[in-house]
Chains A and B, each alone.
Chain A
Amino acid sequence: MSQDIFVVIEHLRGKVADISYVMLAAARVIAQATGGQVVAALLGHNAQELAGNLAADRVLYVEHPALADFTSAAYQTVLESLLREHAPRAALLGDTSIGGDVAAWLAARLSWPLVSSCRSVSAEGAVIRFVSQTCGGKIMAEGDLPGPCALVMIVPGGYKPEQGQSAQTPQVTSAAAPPLEGLRVAVDNYVEPDTSDVDISREPILVSVGRGIQTLDSIGLVEELARALGCPVCASRPIVDQGWLPTTRLVGKSGKVVKPRLYLALGISGAPEHVEGMGESEMIIAVNTDPAAPIFNVAKYGATVDLFDLAPALTEKIQEARRQRGTHHGAASS
């Protein structure tokens, strides 16, 4: 057992994911209190150079051809053996498609407690405190991280990726991989995101629609508003899962990250998975009938009116403003 904090580095196709740096920042907060080291566990095939800018005290690098792509089976096997051997005070994983495939599996195999959806940590002496988000971001839950070893799944938002980056390359040591034969999961290929549609991540203005719209037929209301503003429509996950808009329009954790000058959110609650994709927009305006909707915690302006009243009224006023301006410009130039 040690007071070290392990961070399982996430990377995909040659690029370290931002969540890895966020985890390193969180790990540093704990390690400073426990007096342990921040140890980055990097698993891969010819991937050692990814250690370059990790803000860790040291990197444990596990090299194996079976680690060329992320697979749950290979990561589970390697991490179980690594964590059993080192028994750190805590091991941090992303609350993501990668971390999600292994964290709770490891918790069951190692009989270690697990805390998920953790946004930030603090530590005083030996006591490590977690703050997790739950209920779509409407509630935060706080508690002490049980010992002697624990797993923590980190969500983005609590730390900036830059806080987990370093100009100095950390010391890298190799750790042997356990046997990795007969794995039951394999990546066949990757399917690239569709590029034939508009790229919402490059648009300066976006009108975004959520489940508040209720039916496919009503999407037209929002499309008219977007047309008046001269921008595309994007959406939250339920809209895309219903097949009402294509996946290319999805904003959030599993969709695109957008940073437009204006993000007009209609009938979107502002779940953490959505905010992950639009929280950095320059100006967010949210319309939601629920005054407690978390979207108002990231919006600059908000209104609790019904979107079915607002969208048509706003469309008309925009058209009107454009007409006036058209006449005005016309008059000036004639």
Chain B
Amino acid sequence: MDIAVVVKLVPDLVEELAIDESGAALDTSYLRLIVNELDNHAVEQAILLKESAGGQVTVIAPDLEGVDDILFTAAAKGADRLIKLTGAMSGVNNYALSNSLAAIIREIKPHLVLTGVQANNDLDGSVGPRLAALLGMAYVGYVSGVTPANDSVKVRKEYSGGLVAQVAVRLPAVLGIQAAGKPPRYVPISKIRQMSKTARIKDQPAGDLDAGNGAAVKHMFKPEMGTHATMIEGEADEVADRLIAIFKEQDIL
């Protein structure tokens, strides 16, 4: 089964986020980008499927700071082909992106396209269902586990509260991955370094990145909730003392 995985780079939310001068976008000058965590699961799911059913895994990622490492890491895990989408990739919307990804995927002709089900910074829905519409493929998202079955795959689709549906999806299809069937594997740095010498990344121009009729953000702000926590100051020991007092007040201790 040939599989294409599209990987996104997203802001690392552990870092402090700032809004730029326009007031309508994140300040990217200090922004640290990391791979969308769900995409690690999508890559893992692709490798798991390759291990059980054979086929080629192609990983496609936009040309942004740190992308080579991400692609070489995927190769170290077992990806066969690496494609870097070149062009003005910063801040591109999903309308434009899906069109250029669809063009590339049409050439690869995979049986399955895997994406992360969503990313932490999208404001115009996910790429996966758009790709499915453009490619005329089936789409199922919130998937945690995929098993091959003849001309279909059986997927676990998650609903809230821990309810799962086993769903049959006829190929070719796009799946939005929430979690791989197993936790993403670890690869040692040495193996990634080795890949950076042997694996080849193919540059592919994204072409015309037309933003279409997407909604424009006019204003970004940090949420100021009416209620912010009362902060307990001091070292761990003092905080623990205060918590004990609170537990006692609340009849928890």
Residues of A within 8 A of B (CB): 12, 17, 69, 71-73, 76, 96-98, 100-109, 111-117, 130, 132-146, 150-151, 153, 184-194, 205, 229, 238, 241-243, 247-248, 250, 253-257, 261-262, 269, 271, 283-287, 290, 292, 294, 296-306, 309-310, 313-314, 316-318, 321-322, 325
Known contacts: A105-B129, A139-B17, A143-B219. The answer to whether A313 contacts B237 by CB under 8 A is yes
In B204-241, the 8 Å CB interface with A consists of 212-223, 225, 227-237, 239-241
Name the A residues within 8 Å of B233 (CB-CB): 303
Are B229 and A300 interface neighbours, CB within 8 A? yes
Task: List 18 A-B pairs, Cβ < 8 Å.
Answer: A100-B142, A101-B129, A102-B129, A107-B130, A108-B98, A114-B214, A116-B122, A137-B223, A146-B215, A193-B161, A238-B37, A241-B183, A254-B142, A255-B161, A261-B250, A285-B243, A298-B225, A300-B229
B9 within 8 A of A: no
Name the A residues within 8 Å of B159 (CB-CB): 12, 97-98, 254
CB distance from A225 to the nearest CB of B (A): 10
* 9 further contact pairs, Cβ within 8 A, besides A113-B212, A294-B223, A297-B229: A97-B142, A101-B176, A111-B212, A138-B17, A141-B123, A150-B215, A242-B183, A292-B17, A298-B227
Are A100 and B13 interface neighbours, CB within 8 A? no
Which of B41, B134, B160 makes the CB contact (< 8 A) with A241?
Answer: B41
CB distance from B141 to the nearest CB of A (A): 5
B91 within 8 A of A: no
A67 to B186, CA, bound (A): 42
A72 to B213, CA, bound (A): 24
Name the A residues within 8 Å of B215 (CB-CB): 113-115, 130, 143-146, 150
Are B154 and A115 interface neighbours, CB within 8 A? no
A317 to B126, CA, bound (A): 47
B82 within 8 A of A: no
Are B223 and A133 interface neighbours, CB within 8 A? yes
Are B164 and A190 interface neighbours, CB within 8 A? yes
Are A187 and B167 interface neighbours, CB within 8 A? yes
Closest chain B residue to A118 by CB distance?
Answer: B123
A125 to B130, CA, bound (A): 31
CB distance from A177 to the nearest CB of B (A): 19
Are B94 and A104 interface neighbours, CB within 8 A? yes
Name the A residues within 8 Å of B139 (CB-CB): 72, 76, 101, 105
CB distance from B63 to the nearest CB of A (A): 22
CB distance from B61 to the nearest CB of A (A): 20
B163 within 8 A of A: yes
**Stretch binding the partner chain, chosen from B66-74, B113-121, B188-196:** B113-121
| Mask: chain B, 133-157; 1 = CB below 8 Å from A; 0 = not | 1100011111000000000001011
Are A191 and B123 interface neighbours, CB within 8 A? no
Known contacts: A108-B134, A261-B250, A300-B229. The answer to whether A250 contacts B240 by CB under 8 A is no
Known contacts: A100-B176, A254-B160. The answer to whether A73 contacts B138 by CB under 8 A is yes
A309 to B250, CA, bound (A): 24
CB distance from B91 to the nearest CB of A (A): 13
A160 to B233, CA, bound (A): 34
Which of A139, A144, A296 makes the CB contact (< 8 A) with B228?
Answer: A296
CB distance from B181 to the nearest CB of A (A): 11
Closest chain B residue to A244 by CB distance?
Answer: B183
Name the A residues within 8 Å of B125 (CB-CB): 100, 103-104, 107, 114, 116, 151, 153
Name the B residues within 8 Å of A286 (CB-CB): 229
Name the B residues within 8 Å of A284 (CB-CB): 229
Are B221 and A139 interface neighbours, CB within 8 A? yes
Name the B residues within 8 Å of A109 (CB-CB): 133
CB distance from B172 to the nearest CB of A (A): 9
Name the A residues within 8 Å of B16 (CB-CB): 292
Which of A101, A143, A243, A317 makes the CB contact (< 8 A) with B244?
Answer: A317
CB distance from B242 to the nearest CB of A (A): 8
Name the B residues within 8 Å of A325 (CB-CB): 253
Known contacts: A262-B252, A296-B229. The answer to whether A135 contacts B13 by CB under 8 A is yes
Are A139 and B129 interface neighbours, CB within 8 A? no
Which of A17, A135, A193, A309 makes the CB contact (< 8 A) with B120?
Answer: A135
Name the B residues within 8 Å of A190 (CB-CB): 163-166
CB distance from B139 to the nearest CB of A (A): 5
A102 to B128, CA, bound (A): 10
Name the A residues within 8 Å of B141 (CB-CB): 72, 97, 100-101
CB distance from B179 to the nearest CB of A (A): 5
